[in-house]
Copies of this chain bind each other. A is one copy, B any other.
Amino acid sequence: MRGNGKRQTVRLKDIANKTGYSINTISHALRGMNDIGEETRNYILKTASELGYVKNSIAQSMRLGYTKTIAVILGDISNPHFAILTKEIENTASKHGYSVFLLNTNEDEDQEETAIRTAIQHNVDGIILCPVQKSDRNVRFLQKSNIPFVLIGRYFPGMEGVSYTICNDVKGGYIATEYLIRHGHRRILLLTGPSHISSAKERLDGYRAALSDNGIEYDDSLVIEVPIMETDCSTLLPEDGYTAIFAFSDIIAWSAWKILRERGKRVPEDVSIIGFDHIQSRLALPYTLCSVSSYKAKMSITSVEMLISIINGNKDAESIIIDTDIAKGESVSTIS
């Protein structure tokens, strides 16, 4: 019965045996309930620490029905943008007494489903999800399963009852494009993300709006979709026909800069570049990339607090849109 892979641990029962009190008394004493005598409590606490007691959260969860854990499910933790979000999420969760399960989807819908099922199996109290969005299948499943969850960074427009924290992607797309236009650019290449991803779609909307507001005609051939898990977009980048690039992410922007340089073009003299996410707020690099800043800490903290509020019984879906701003950098210059 024992020795089935179970480590020998100290249980309430062991403290009970040692002290002569009942399991119940031990439990109450350890949790500081005020129905235990002063002396008794001290004796119990001392014995517990001597024996090296650590509470068994699994057993506690079994009884109480919650685990004080949340799952963070996102595309790829090795992407600095997600890594920074995750850092802040873990930090905030931990302040609220929650531990974090980390699960990657690799932007694949089936892996996302597996991740969600894994999270539910482990009885997480809630899920923070950056959805793959190839379809709304998995989010529908989440809704049906009745587990508290919030989306981060991406959302499903028109879907009711789903809480999310995103940044203002439309504005981000708009101000990035406008910023380039104000620097004299009219042929602006958009390296966009897959159109099923809401942030990609909305940044494109912002791009188009800014062009339109400035009397520049939208040109299909200047919009290129970069696969979401791709870091190398060398085959996708046109040789010329543009003086500036607006990239869906800093990762893509840096990659484009690299390719341009390999082709002998100078940034920003020949081509200006603006990215998205402003990962340089956390990563010192010698050359500064102009970028749209999305306040990752605020986004993370908000989504954790939103989730905890749902876990605690708040039934109303909330949506929070974090502001976006231009973070200036040397990758953009004025052309005549």
A52: B residues at CB distance < 8 A: 144-145
Q: Is A104 an interface residue (CB 8 A)?
A: yes
Stretch at the interface among A35-43, A166-174, A188-196, A253-261: A253-261
Shortest A198–chain B CB gap in Å is 24
Task: From A84-92, A152-160, A217-225, give the one contacting chain B.
Answer: A84-92
Are B80 and A87 closer than 8 Å at their CB atoms? Answer: no
Report copies per complex: 2
Residues 197 to 251 of chain A near chain B (Cβ within 8 Å): 231-232, 251
- The reply to whether B61 and A58 form a contact with Cβ atoms under 8 Å apart is yes
Interface size class of A (residues with CB under 8 A): 35 or more
Chain B residues in 8 Å Cβ range of A286: 254, 257-258, 260-261, 267, 287
Residues A58 and B5 in contact, CB atoms below 8 Å apart: no
**B231 A282 Cβ-Cβ under 8 A:** yes
Binds B, one of A23-31, A116-124, A131-139: A116-124
Inter-subunit contact B65/A90 (CB<8 Å): no
Chain B residues whose CB sits within 8 angstroms of the CB of A47 once the complex forms: none
Please name the residue on chain B nearest to A57 by beta carbon: B121
Binary B-proximity of A92-122 (CB < 8 A = 1, otherwise 0): 0010000111111000000000000110111
Q: Which residues of B contact A282 (CB under 8 A)?
A: 78, 231
Q: What is the minimal beta-carbon distance from A106 to any residue of chain B, in angstroms?
A: 8
CA–CA, A285 to B121, complex, Å? 40
Measured CB to CB, the residues of A under 8 A from B are 4-8, 52, 54-59, 61-62, 64-67, 69, 72, 76-80, 83-84, 86-87, 90-91, 94, 99-104, 117-118, 120-123, 144-147, 231-232, 251, 254-255, 257-258, 260-261, 267, 282-287
